[in-house]
A and B are shown apart, each in its own frame.
Chain A
């Protein structure tokens, strides 16, 4: 094939990397588009709501804003796509289609997508994701999220990726291959678990305060922290209505305890995974622990993990620079590196 012809063809292809997350999903595309959306899908509850919203379907932040007028669905939970009802599956399909459409493919352009999903969803919900993508893309690859992160960071050897999301923490050890089941561990004690703990603790401490799960999630996202060796921490004061009157509440201790609730689970799985690796390379793996996902932003977590690895001989923990787009960027890198012949084979699926 002539070089010019090949170039013309490649110009007519849009590569998309999608990070399908429980709380947020992100898209990176070869045309420069980078967008994210809360992983929420809402349908107007009735004809009045539809008229008011002027839309048949609502995505992301708008679902929270208009939640009283919507039936809101969160398509992923605990690391897999919810499939209890037809509406659950429809929500997942619609979200995937919406994410790809956010990349703004041009008419006539071939769309090749790599979808990164939580490790278990990438195994159990492959068919559903593929069906959803097939309506809006010409071919797709479904990959586990920690792998897309490692690929994007070019840390494919003796690296341990800890992807802390809302539904799950996915731990994945990279040793120069596509991770197999034994290379990955999934914990359901993740961001949602912290929200749940915090909600319960605050309800117990401030029984007359009025707050919702969404408010608790927002406080966590803004202030989450883990104490390291009794290090001092400024007070975290939030405004919560009591009997309709905004009142200041100190949530420092509750937030610290809620965030720390995931640590015993994380510690155990991290150590199990390291111990399962080839002993000759365990030292190197401990020096290459990468925190990703929204949970990587918990202040003090990186230091806590490093301190915890000390009794194994020490280790180095780093945090991805852009947790929101690390997965989508890695997926886009995979999409771009996949040879045209392989994309042609995937088109036929």
Chain B
């Protein structure tokens, strides 16, 4: 057999191995080289460093640092024991709720309760008295390694990364609803409230089916719902993530793009205007906001919200820009004072997934398939965040 044929065989084996790996773990991207690196790997397949060697070195470091990490873990619990400090310590500890768990397990997706009373009943079920670690918090070598990196400042990471905390429950909020239509399209008169509900339902179904998480919608029909009520429901369920879905309307008619928001002081006039529009149903005051933000900015919730927002925004923008032939503006991740995000105790994000000021986009949004594609892009962002926590 010639060397070329042998190399070709090696390459095909490697490609198929990557394909199988991709199919076994659909969301994971197999790291690979481009251009010259790939050519070198092709020519010298044996030159690639074996992963086992790295793992062995890691475990040695892990063993040495385990004691340091154990100390840190205990210390962290002692210093930050409650939600009042972190605002989202329920990310670390979840109340064990057999009825809710059983309900979620019995159905791939968790339908939103129909009435406010249902929501209250569900919250009571979720609010059992027992606090138990969601995960085994025993320190393994990898965890110890991460702790060491965190302590030494060599690697910037959030505490949820450090403790390897997982997401179990997500609340999705379809923006507006009932007597509040949100923005209205200029040609077909499409309503934001209808579009957000379709996208949220699709997103819920995919998260429940593919990520096997408990998912709740703040509304599953065309009902009116106050902005604070939305986060109240997420808090009552002790959700790990809160995602509010909206459709934008840019005053500048030629503007096209997607943007994602976290709670915070606005850094641009446009972000301020968007927040004013989404807050239009009129709850909350600046004083409420300033006090709350002061407390929150001292916590790591912002950091997690940003990571969550990044995952969603990157996937959404890349996908939408591809669908629009590369003409969309990346309006980025911004901070703005959205009332709907104000009371949330968990990482929370508001995403403007599309825009209704452009008649061509409105035409696309009239098609359920297009809405589903948007939901799929958001789903990839959620998956990116969730799997980064596992």
Contacts and interface: CB of A to CB of B under 8 A. Distances in A.
Given A157-B39, A157-B42, A177-B32, A342 B15 contact: no
A177 B38 contact: yes
Interface stretch (B142-150, B220-228, B318-326): B318-326
Interface stretch (B62-70, B151-159, B337-345, B368-376): B368-376
A175 B325 contact: no
B169 interface: no
A275 to B, nearest CB: 13
Nearest to B23: A141
A55 B329 CA distance: 50
B16 A186 contact: no
B300 to A, nearest CB: 30
A342 B15 CA distance: 12
Contact of B210 (A127, A151, A175, A185): A127
Contacts of B8: 154
B33 A177 contact: yes
Given A157-B42, A175-B38, A180-B29, A345 B210 contact: no
Contacts of B38: 157, 175-177
Interface string A319-348: 000000000000000100111001001100
A339 B16 contact: yes
Contacts, number: 115
Interface in B1-39: 8, 11-13, 15-20, 22-24, 26, 29-30, 32-36, 38-39
Contact of A176 (B22, B42, B371): B42
Interface in B291-333: 318, 322-323, 325-326
A277 B34 contact: yes
Contacts of A338: 16, 19-20
A243 to B, nearest CB: 33
A77 B23 contact: no
**Which of B34, B42, B202, B372 lies at the interface centre, i.e. has the most chain A CB atoms within 10 A of its CB?**
B34
B372 A176 contact: no
Contact of A177 (B18, B26, B206, B380): B18
B15 A151 contact: yes
Interface string B354-380: 000000000000011111110010001
A96 interface: no
A189 interface: yes
Contact of A342 (B17, B326, B368, B373): B17
B209 interface: yes
Nearest to A277: B35
A78 B20 CA distance: 26
A156 B18 CA distance: 14
A127 B209 contact: yes
A142 B23 contact: yes
A188 B323 contact: yes
B44 to A, nearest CB: 12
Contacts of B373: 78, 80, 124
Interface string B47-68: 0000000000000000000000
Given A157-B39, A189-B325, A346-B23, A178 B18 contact: yes
B151 to A, nearest CB: 34
B369 A126 contact: no
Contact of B325 (A142, A151, A187): A187
B16 A342 contact: yes
B369 A178 contact: no
A176 B11 contact: yes
Contacts of B22: 178
B333 to A, nearest CB: 19
A346 B19 CA distance: 11
A280 B15 contact: no
B141 interface: no
B369 A334 contact: no
Interface stretch (A9-17, A35-43, A82-90, A303-311): A82-90
A186 B35 contact: no
A143 interface: yes
A141 B39 CA distance: 26
A31 interface: no
A339 B210 CA distance: 27
Contacts of A269: 326
Interface in B375-390: 376, 380
Contacts of B23: 126, 141-142, 346, 349
Interface in A156-203: 156-157, 175-178, 180-181, 183, 185-189
A265 interface: yes
Given A154-B8, A176-B11, A185-B322, A83 B372 contact: yes
B20 A342 contact: yes
A272 interface: yes
Nearest to A88: B369
B127 interface: no
Contact of A178 (B30, B41, B42, B206): B30
A249 to B, nearest CB: 29
Top 3 nearest A-B pairs by Cβ distance?
A: A278-B35, A84-B368, A177-B32
Given A84-B371, A157-B42, A177-B32, 14 more contacts: A77-B369, A78-B369, A78-B373, A82-B372, A123-B380, A126-B23, A175-B34, A176-B42, A177-B15, A178-B15, A337-B12, A345-B24, A349-B23, A349-B24
30 contacts: A77-B369, A80-B376, A83-B202, A83-B369, A83-B372, A84-B368, A84-B369, A84-B371, A84-B372, A123-B380, A127-B206, A154-B8, A157-B38, A175-B38, A176-B11, A176-B15, A176-B41, A177-B15, A177-B32, A178-B19, A178-B32, A180-B32, A181-B318, A183-B34, A186-B323, A187-B325, A188-B323, A334-B19, A337-B16, A342-B20
